[in-house]
Structure 1
Amino acid sequence: MSKEIQLPRVEDTALEHLLDGALGAHAIVPRPQWRAEALSYLRSIADAATLVRSLDLGDAEEPAPVYRP
């Protein structure tokens, strides 16, 4: 049986650093209105990842079988 683990929420500053690093690595100069929208997408992704990571399935749960034709 799965149990839930309390994980801290990803900080907004960490998401800003992630966005700035990705923009710098790809030499993208964003428009100011794009930054707020990109940060909101990163927040949604981080919250979803935190939810998935918070479920501890333990050793009893098996992963789904891999389909091989």
Structure 2
Amino acid sequence: MSEQRLRYRAFLAVVLATLVVALAPIIVSGLLGKVLPDGLIATSDKVTTGLVTLLGTIGGLLFRRVDTGTER
């Protein structure tokens, strides 16, 4: 496999793991049928939004194109 493809797979694995960890309290409470406090749900939403934004920035930096030609 090419290095770019491996880098892409690793990045997707990190994104998936981050989302699972951030959403775990909501998923577990839904499976158990319990009600979560509004504060915990709001915190989980904020953490998820922040992590997705951070991972999007990291992904943009990892996969940006760098022109190596001499044309300007």
- TM-score, L = length of structure 2: 0.42
Of Structure 1 and Structure 2, the greater strand share is in 1
Q: Which structure has the higher relative contact order (CA within 8 Å, separation 6+)?
A: 1
- TM-score, L = length of structure 1: 0.43
